[in-house]
Structures are given as structure tokens and as C-alpha cells.
Structure 1
Amino acid sequence: MEEQYFLFLLEVSGIQNFIFSSNNLRVNIGASSLIRAITDEWVNYLLIEKNTNFANHNLNSIELTVKGIETDNLDVEIIYIGGGNALMLFRYEAHIEEFTKALTRKALIEAPGINVAMAHLPFAFDIDNFKDKYSELRKTININKAEQAPPPLIMGLGVSARCSFSGKPAAMVWKDPGGNPQLISREVAAKLAQFSQGKHYLNQLTEGIQKAKNYEFISNFDDFGDKGISSYIAIVHADGNRMGERIKALGESLSFPKDNRKYIQLLRNFSKSSKEAAQKALSQTLTTFLDCIQTENGQQIIRRRQGVKPEYYQSLPKVHIHDHKLPFRPIVFGGDDVTFICDGRLGLAMAKEYLVNYNRQYLEEGLGQPQPAIGRAGIAITPSHYPFSRGYELAEELAGSAKSIGDNGMTQSLDWHFGTNGIIEPLKTIRSRSYKVDGKDIIMRPVSLSDASAYNFSTFEYIVKEFQVGDDWAKRRNKFKALIAKLRKGPDEVSAFLANARLPGLPCAIRLKSKDVEISNKGWAGSECYYFDALEAIDFYIPLED
């Protein structure tokens, strides 16, 4: 009789709300660390505690074991793990029941407020198609997640004190780094308890980056920006394109059930390479960022310096590094997507740098040569004390918008929004109300990084640079506000404004030369406005120059 196993899938759900619901950065960092610990640490711990014989193909380990449950008499085989997800094969269904109870109990005690969805299906190596079973299991767990009852809101009694960060009933007092007592809930206490582990995860990411040893990462929103000058943060959410399609394509040439084991290895390799691609890209982005720091008049700063005349220095945006604290902090980086925050004036350049580095990585798909990773990013620039959860939602929405011009996911792209007035609404509402003239968009974003596009991110960078330091326009910054207003009214208004004020033509990148006369005199070519994006970013764009 064919031996039957059980394919088991675990997914942490409601991750975004769990991580980003607080405006205390330590709480956010601890929450992200707690999500990562559930799969990266708790799974191993509980399997050991239950005295099971298992092979852990942990993606963090240097040497991966090659044992299989069907050949090596294992109780459990971990196929992939990390980023709040785990796929495993169990020999006995009773072990799944024990494991599920233990994990649920641990989550209730050590991670209150988190939801963990689990599902399993029977599987036989010589009969079943693993790829089909895996697809079926994903559908099952999605149904389970949809049917999960939301956790009951126990708001306490009329005499209950409220948590300073979540509004839920307070359970204890926590002293913040400044020594100020804060009332906190059990959920917030659990997140704060993981803050030091979050620092450990970050240290693993920066290991080998020598310059990083001279700095620490910001862990307080108040430390972002320069007081009285700029206090905005950029929330950057980046994700891989076509990841679902790439997973579906795995093993298309395999024959099932004969090649079930080969498919498992393909799935494992793809998961491993996806995670490594995101982490390597983030690490390389940090290296570039550190190389951009310069010392000026005894202060460490980041600003544009290539091709800048001394008379334009004062008007350029610049970021100060205070007390060796980097204005950059990765929050989610344990899986194949990444979320980080940085000074608002660095958000666009940092997002672009991450995507460029991500595209240099390769994903193992088992289809011949590994293929380059392709990503997208959304950047929400908001006041540093704006509700973090809303800012993150916008960044995620912007990343989805960026995908829309990505040539069916084959091109790197990004989209952004400056929420400088502190009012953030759904992206569609914002764009419809504030960025249209007679039904035409006054912005070019989302923007591709591909050279195949007439207006790409390099075009945007060129126009920003000409406005910031080009001789024709850098000395006319007092005209920018009026020019923005005229762009909103259409090409004829722009043309009349330039003529009446005796201003030079607008800067035109080489790739736009075919439309040179119309663009430089009117700011528009047909239904496309080429200058609003750059002018809106004039005080919020600092390139990364080493």
C-alpha cells in the first residue's frame, strides 16, 4: 500500500495591520520581528520540543540538508520557510494536530493579536501530483483565512486605562527610551519584547558592510528629518513582479507523479533565491547609501554634488546625519518583498537604487538559466507623525499602480505620492481630483526604469537636475510655483507665461528631442505633461552619488 503523507501550509495573515498599526517605530520593528520569528524560529523550536525527526531546509542556513521524508524515515520535512509562511510534509496527521495546538497556544501567549492560518491535505508520492496538491492547498488556506472570525475587540471597562499606542486596554507600564512611563497593552508589550531581536535580524543583513559598523539605525520617528526644515518620511514598499506566474510556471516540463521530488526541489530553490534576491538588493542599497555620506563643515550630510556650482549649494535639499543615526530603516525584509522607511528627500532615489540592485539578482526557476528578478516599488512621502498604517497602505497601493505600466510585469517601475499636506486618501481619488486638467493627467507617473520608454525615471532625473542646478533655471527658483500653477491650466498658459516673463525654454532630455519645440515652449506634448513630476519633487529629490 502506498504510504500517505500530509502536506501542511502555514501562513501568518493580517501582517500589514499587525506591523503598521502603531506610530511608534520600536513597536513596528518588534512586530515585524515577531512575524519573522513565528516561522523562522518557532517552527523549529516546536518540532524539536515534540521530539520529531525532521529535516529543516532553512533558507538562512549555509548548508541545506538534502534529506527527503519518503527516503530518510523523517517525521517532518520543511520544504520552505520564512516571511510568515511555511510549507511542510508530515508523516503522521496526529503530529499536525499536536503542532497546530502548540503553535496556536504559543501565538496566543507570545503574539496576541496575530492570526495564523493553517491547512493540510493528504499526499502520496507515487500517486498524487505535488504541483496540483500544492495549488489545491493554497486555495484551501485562502478559504480558511476568509472564514476566520476577527478577534473579539475587548475594549475594557469604563475604568480601564488605554494603551498609549493601540487604544486597547492597558496591561502594564513600559518606560520608553527617554524614561517616560507609557501604558501599553499585551499586544504592544509582545511587540516591544521583540525589538532587540529585530535589531539582531538587521545586524545579520548588514554583516560584512564595514561602514555600517560606524552607524546605528533610527528607531524613533522623531529622529527623521531636520527640525524646522523638513520632517517627512518616505515609506517604500517593493515587491517582485509576476511571482505568482513564475511559481505556476515551475515544473511545466516535469512528469507527475514521477517528478514530485524534483518539483519540491524547484519550489525550494525558487523560494530560496527569491528571499536572497530581496535581501541582497537591500544590502547593496544600504552600501550605496553609506557611500553617499560626505562630511561638510564638520557635519555628515547627503546632497547632490556632481555638476553643482557653488552658488547653487544653498538652495539644494540635503539630509543631515545626526549622532551617527542613519535616516533609513528596513522594517520588513524576511521574505521576497521589502518595506523600508527613510528621510522623505531620499525616498525616490533609494527606491530606484533598490530596484536596480534587485534586477541584478537571479531567480532559480529550473527553466535553464536563472532569470533576473524584476520588481516594482511604491513610495509614500508623508509627515513623520502621519498615521503610519495609512502611509503604508498608500505605498502598497502605489506599488500596485507601478505594476500597471510594467509591460505585463517584465519591466521595473515605480510610483510615488507627496502627501505633504498630511491628507492621504485612496490613490484613485487623489489622482482624479488633484492631478488632472480637462481630463488629462498632469503627471507622467507611474514611471518605468526601462530605456525603452520615452519618458522614464532617467528623464525625470534629468529634468529635476536641470531645475535644481542647470544655469537656465536654478537661478529662477522663484518662478517654480507660478510655473506649476500654469502647468495645471494647460499648454497655452505655460507658453504665455514663459514669453511674458522672458524665461528660457523648459529643459528637454535627449530622449524627448523629437518633441523638443512643443515640450520646451508649452510643457505639454499632446495629452502628456512632462514637467509637473519634476517640479513637485524639486525639494524632495536627492540623488545617490558616491
Structure 2
Amino acid sequence: MSYTVIFIDTTGIQNYIFSSNRLRENIGASYLVSAATGKWVRETLEKELNIPEDKQTEPIENSNYDAELVYGDGGNALLIFKEKKAASKFSKILSKRVLLEAAGLNLLIANCEFDWYGEKKLYQLVKELITDRIERQKHERSLSVPLLGLGVTATCNSNLLPAVASSDKYIRYDDDEQEKSYLISTETKHKLIAAPKANEKLEKLLARVINSKCNYKSDYKSTSGYHFNFYQFPYRTDNLGRSEGESSYAAVIHADGNGMGKRFQNYGEGRENRDYIIAMRKFSQSIKKAGENALIAVIKTIINSLSEGQVVGKQAKFSLKRNNLPFRPLIYGGDDTTFVCEGRLGLELAALYLQELEKQPVADGIKLTACAGICVVKTHYPFARAYSISEVLCQEAKKFVKNERELEPEGFSALDWHLAASGLIGTIKDIRQREYQENSGNLNMRPLRLQQNANEWRTWEGFTQVLTQFYKDKK
């Protein structure tokens, strides 16, 4: 029985999401990446191929429908079609929607014929699609060189592409969201349109948590239709709780699971086709659930602290306008997570997220560990640059874990950070070489492992104990 297998991937995600220094645009871009391989895939199957959403995971070998969705979300998707014609139709419709509603997002699609009862198993075919065709597309594809406008063309304030409109047409302003209208390109327009949808998705996920505590009432009604007694997710870094004259910093946190690609491969290795599909779907869903649960736990901690007149145990002054939370998730629902928060909360919330992630059960039965990079900068510091640094810091933490692999084969969670009181000149390596090196040695104790270890002094618990003692001695 011959089928057509399609693997969908996105490339240049980080640049697409974080190319702008406006948080609202980052929020919309993140939603579009998720939608392109998740919601839009399911909607295309339902509207164009007449496959109801609740029937999209039916076993294709026994199904009356033309396709089966193995998994789809977070930047990639895997589908099986009975006929090449249906697969081609699906690819064209999805690609067109991305072009029309997510300008600037690069979609990669690889497909091949597959004999269900042949010698080659599905897990082998998927591995080839990813490692050979998709990776080759990323390196060999012809880069788009669009006309960037003529001499009289106005440019977008965010990405310098030709402007097509002004921002005020796509932003619902209120007293605390006032911002001067600026010129936007088609790509920026699509991101602004998607931003409220991103909040709607997040509000639905966290509706019960956000409504779990309420001390006073507000007239605010969310875009999703949920009535929130208070608390909403901010669209601007200015509304994360900075207090003018006291503290005006924002933290960008990027967390990524350890060795997840290898774990997916190992979990599917050697399985028969149907067993492989079930296993991959189960594993993918468990990872998504783990990320969401860890995020919900962080939100609960913040809300509980706010109800007690503090913010995560801190008595410092926080200016939370219109009941905005001092926290905003950007990428979530898996092992790869990015969020921003008020600068003073960055380290604690990153450590809390990693701790909660480790508690979550995963389908393969192995403890889920991750690394996080935290960059704390001035509130108006270029957001794209801050994210880039947090990503590098996350990689530094991963290198630390890798170097300890012989002693701890299962790995562990770790975090690294950088606090920038002003601007940043050079790479993290350059900065640490310049500011933390003395003749006596290295003065930098980062990265830190998350959990206490008898053979290692560089731990989060050890660091917080030393910091607490400093505060006691100061008093």
C-alpha cells in the first residue's frame, strides 16, 4: 500500500520572531510560527480535504479519509496522505496561506512515496526526510531577493521593508498602550494582526489560573471573550512593572531542552509503522504538556505573590499598569520556551521554570532537563539583541552540561545569565574575557547547575544562599 509522507518545517524562526524591537510584533510573529504548522495545518485538512479535526488522527490504513496528521505544532509537522494528488493540494493551499497571512515566514516541505508494507520503516523514512531533504533545502534553497522599494518609497520602522500602511490601523490603543503611529510593511502588518490572537491562545490556556485569585474588579474583557477580574498579559516591555527612578530593566529568558532531537529519534527507533506513529504522537504531546504545565506553575506563583502584595517574594516597588502581569510568554508549549519579565524577576523565574519542567512526566520515562539563558537589560534596549544574547547564554549552559556528561550521563538542568547595566559591547565571550578575567583566574562562576550536587559548588541553591548571606551582612 503506497502513501505519500510530508514533513513540514520552518526556517529562520528566531530571526522572524525577534527581528523587531517591538514586543507586540514579536508576540504576533511567534503566534504565526505556531499557527503555520499547527492550527493552519488542521484547518487546511478540515476545510480543503474535508477531514474533521476529531478524525485527523485516525489510522490511515483503516480510515475513510485521505490523510492522517501524525503531529503538528511548534514549527514542524508530519502527515501521511493516501494519494500524491491530495498531498500536493494540501501543500499548495498551506503555502499560499503562509504567503498571504504570514509574510516573511519561510516554510519548507519535503515529501516522498512510502510503501506501508515495504522493507523501509516509517521511522527510517522520516529520519531521511529531516536529515537529508529538509536540511539540504535549508542550505541550498534560493534566497528571496525582493524589490525593497524605489527612491520615493517609505520604509517600515521595524524592518526597513517597503511600508504599506500605518500601525494605528492594526492596534487597539488604550491609556497605557499609547504609542506614536509608525509605518509598517506587509510582514509587520501580519504580525500586528496576529498579536491579539496570540493573547487569546494564551488566555484560553491559562484562563482558570488567571481567574483563580481576585482581590478587586476591572472592566477589562479579553480578546478571547473570557472575563478577567484582573491581570492581563502586556504587549509592551514598558508595562512589565518597571518603576521609574528605581528600576527600569527587562529580562529575556530562553530555555531549551537537553538532547531532545536524540530522544525523539531513540524513542521511535526500531518501531513498526503504526507503533511509531502512536509513540511519536504521544511523546510530542507529553513534551508540549510538560512545557505548558511548567509555564502555568510559574504564572500561579506570580499571581499568588501578587495577591499577597509582593512579586515572587520581592517587596520592591513594581508599577503594574492596568493590572498587567510582570511576565509575558513568547514561545511555549514544548521544550523550547522564551519569555520576558520584569528585570528583577528574571533569574528567579528562569530557575522556577526549570524546576517545574523537571517535575513533569514525559512519555519516554526519562527526566526532562533543560538549560536557560537570561539576559537582563534596560527596558528600551533593542529586544532582538537581548534575545540573541539569551540564546548564546543558553548554549553556554548546554556546553557546561555536555562537559559533565561523563560524570552524569543523564544530564542536568543549568542556567547562565548576564546583567547589563548599560549597553553591551562585543560577544559574551569578549565581555567575560574583558571584565571577569584576572591574573589569578576566572572570576565568573557561571553557568550554574540547577539542583544541588555533592561534588559541585556551582549550583543555584548555593548561589542564592551566598546572596542571602550578603544581604544579611549588609543589614
**Alignment TM class, shorter chain as reference:** 0.7 to 0.9
Counterpart position of 1:543: none
Amino acid at match of 1:284: A
Counterpart position of 2:255: 238
Contact (CA 8 Å) 2:4, 2:81: kept in 1 or not? yes
1:446 aligns with 2:437: no
Give the TM-score, by structure 1 length.
Answer: 0.77
- Equivalent residue for 1:137, pick from 129, 133, 136: 129
Counterpart position of 2:185: 185
Query: 3-state SS of the aligned residue for 1:372?
Result: coil
- Equivalent residue for 1:157, pick from 150, 171, 180: 150
Matches within 5 A, 1:171-210: 171-175=164-168, 176=171, 177=173, 178=178, 180-209=180-209, 210=212
Give distance in 2, aligned partners of 1:10 and 1:333.
19
Give the TM-score, by structure 2 length.
Answer: 0.88
Contact (CA 8 Å) 2:157, 2:183: kept in 1 or not? yes
Matches within 5 A, 1:306-385: 317-365=316-364, 370-385=365-380
Counterpart position of 2:274: 261
Query: 3-state SS of the aligned residue for 1:444?
Result: coil
Query: 3-state SS of the aligned residue for 2:318?
Result: strand
Give distance in 2, aligned partners of 1:192 and 1:360.
35
Contact (CA 8 Å) 2:289, 2:333: kept in 1 or not? no
Which digits, 9 at most, give the CA deviation of each residue in 1:169-196, with x for residues without a partner?
Answer: 1101221522743211111111111111
Give distance in 2, aligned partners of 1:319 and 1:414.
25
Contact (CA 8 Å) 2:19, 2:384: kept in 1 or not? yes
Give distance in 1, aligned partners of 2:439 and 2:459.
24
Give distance in 1, aligned partners of 2:418 and 2:206.
29
- Equivalent residue for 1:116, pick from 98, 103, 107: 107
Deviation at 1:217? 1.4
Deviation at 1:304? 4.5
Query: 3-state SS of the aligned residue for 1:432?
Result: helix
Counterpart position of 2:468: 465
Deviation at 1:96? 2.0
Which digits, 9 at most, give the CA deviation of each residue in 1:419-473, with x for residues without a partner?
Answer: 22211532222222222112722011100012212231111001111112x1xx2
Contact (CA 8 Å) 1:235, 1:381: kept in 2 or not? yes
Query: 3-state SS of the aligned residue for 2:346?
Result: helix
Q: Unpaired runs of 5+ in structure 2?
A: 215-227
Measured at CA, do residues 358 and 201 of structure 1 come closer, stay the same or move farther in structure 2, by a change above 3 Å? same
Query: 3-state SS of the aligned residue for 1:188?
Result: helix
Measured at CA, do residues 100 and 414 of structure 1 come closer, stay the same or move farther in structure 2, by a change above 3 Å? same
Deviation at 1:416? 0.5
Count how many residue pairs are aligned between Structure 1 and Structure 2: 441
Deviation at 1:233? 0.7
Measured at CA, do residues 440 and 155 of structure 1 come closer, stay the same or move farther in structure 2, by a change above 3 Å? same
Identity of aligned residues (%): 34
Give distance in 1, aligned partners of 2:179 and 2:373.
36
Give distance in 2, aligned partners of 1:318 and 1:410.
38
Amino acid at match of 2:378: P
Give distance in 2, aligned partners of 1:265 and 1:171.
46
Counterpart position of 1:434: 435
Q: Unpaired runs of 5+ in structure 1?
A: 59-64, 306-315, 476-546
Contact (CA 8 Å) 1:82, 1:335: kept in 2 or not? no
Amino acid at match of 1:184: I
Deviation at 1:242? 1.4
Counterpart position of 1:425: 426
Counterpart position of 1:229: 246
Contact (CA 8 Å) 2:393, 2:417: kept in 1 or not? yes
Which digits, 9 at most, give the CA deviation of each residue in 1:140-195, with x for residues without a partner?
Answer: 11111222223324321111112122221110122152274321111111111111
Contact (CA 8 Å) 2:49, 2:66: kept in 1 or not? no
Bigger mean CA offset, 85-94 vs 205-214: 205-214
Contact (CA 8 Å) 1:390, 1:424: kept in 2 or not? no
Which digits, 9 at most, give the CA deviation of each residue in 1:76-111, with x for residues without a partner?
Answer: 100001112110011111222222221222111111
Query: 3-state SS of the aligned residue for 1:196?
Result: helix
Measured at CA, do residues 201 and 425 of structure 1 come closer, stay the same or move farther in structure 2, by a change above 3 Å? farther
User: Rg: which structure is higher?
Assistant: 1
Counterpart position of 2:236: 220
Matches within 5 A, 1:8-157: 8-53=6-51, 65=57, 67-127=58-118, 128-139=120-131, 140-157=133-150
Give distance in 1, aligned partners of 2:74 and 2:34.
6
Deviation at 1:48? 2.6
Give distance in 2, aligned partners of 1:443 and 1:181.
44
- Equivalent residue for 2:213, pick from 182, 202, 211: 211
Contact (CA 8 Å) 1:36, 1:334: kept in 2 or not? no
